[in-house]
Amino acid sequence: MIDAKAEIVGNVWKIVAREGDQVGPGDPLVILETMKMEIPVVAPAHGHVSSILVTEGQIVQEGDAVVEIDDTLGA
């Protein structure tokens, strides 16, 4: 499992990915809002979204895991 983590403190504005989605490096998973800017949290690797760890409106801290990606499934 790989965690996609927030790089900034922010509000979870929108959850783009859904559990079971296939993702690749750079694919947007969650959009954070901070100081009126939208900052995407992107997939760090290929895999399937196994769990969304946040809810829209939640405040996250820098380094918080927001999405778990299962990178062990067959390609």
User: Measured in Å, how far apart are the chain's first and last C-alpha atoms?
Assistant: 15
Each residue's pLDDT tens digit, 8-43: 999 999 999 999 999 999 999 999 999 989 999 999
Q: What is this structure's pTM?
A: 0.88
Interatomic CA distance for residues 61 and 49, integer angstroms: 21
Each residue's pLDDT tens digit, 36-62: 899 999 999 999 999 999 999 999 999
Q: Three-class SS of residue 35?
A: coil
Q: 4 with 42: CB under 8 angstroms?
A: yes
pLDDT value at position 74?
A: 53
